[in-house]
Amino acid sequence: MAIREIITLGHPTLRQKARKVTKFGPELQQLVDDMIETMRTAPGVGLAAPQVNVAERVIVVELPADEEENTPAELYTFVNPEIVKASRDKEEDLEGCLSIPGYLGDVERHVEVIIRGQDVHGKPQRIKAYDYLARILQHEIDHLDGVLFIDRVSDPSKIRPITAEETAGATGEVAEAVALMPK
């Protein structure tokens, strides 16, 4: 495994529509392994292949362990993911992005989605995701279409730098978002 460079806003690959993966094998497995290591090192909760300058439809997502609920971290890998169903209910919440370091914005997302795709071996898979996992999956799938969270913010004034107070004294979901942003 290797840590890959995460490209940032302004790099043309971030705005391209990623290609569908048609070849499953060692190269794809290496990409996924590298993406997981890169995401964890960043640190982040999700990463799309275009963020490491690979214009292919691959995402990795890892929900952190929840000590209060005594649940372990959950890792998801999707090749050629697509949203096949989304709830009518939406919720606005803070998002950040490893490709737009140091910034947060309020983004409205569906609270529930059904995602269909393949695993790293090409086997079909499907997941019904709620709340935070649904938000992360939507964010990462957007990357595959050249869409960034800043494109989803209803009001550009809602995009802002992370403040020192948020970094030092944040709690709850804000703390989670702030902790996951590169400094």
Give the confidence band of 65 by pLDDT, cuts at 50, 70, 90.
Answer: confident
What residues are annotated to the active site? Answer: 140
pLDDT, tens digit, 9 for 90 and up, residues 18-60: 999 999 999 999 999 999 999 999 999 999 999 999 999 999 9
Closest Cα partner for 57 from 4, 124, 120?
120
For 158-179, b/e burial (b = at least 16 CB within 10 A) is ebeebeeebeeebeeeeeebbe
Confirm if 90 and 113 have CB atoms less than 8 A apart. no
pLDDT, tens digit, 9 for 90 and up, residues 161-173: 987 766 554 444 4
Q: Is the pLDDT of residue 62 over 80?
A: yes
pLDDT at 66 (0 to 100)? 86
pLDDT at 98 (0 to 100)? 96
User: Where are the domains positioned within the chain?
Assistant: 12-179
pLDDT at 165 (0 to 100)? 67
pLDDT, tens digit, 9 for 90 and up, residues 75-110: 999 999 999 999 999 999 999 999 999 999 999 999
Going by CATH, does the domain composed of 12-179 fall within 3.90.45.10?
yes
pLDDT at 37 (0 to 100)? 98
pLDDT at 177 (0 to 100)? 45
Give the confidence band of 69 by pLDDT, cuts at 50, 70, 90.
Answer: confident
Q: Which of 12-21, 57-66, 149-158, 171-180 has the lowest mean pLDDT?
A: 171-180
pLDDT at 53 (0 to 100)? 98
Give the confidence band of 156 by pLDDT, cuts at 50, 70, 90.
Answer: confident
**CA atoms of 167 and 178, how far apart (whole Å):** 6
pLDDT at 180 (0 to 100)? 44
pLDDT at 182 (0 to 100)? 40
**CA atoms of 47 and 158, how far apart (whole Å):** 23
Under DSSP, is residue 57 helix (H, G, I), strand (E, B) or coil? coil
The whole model's pTM is what? Answer: 0.88
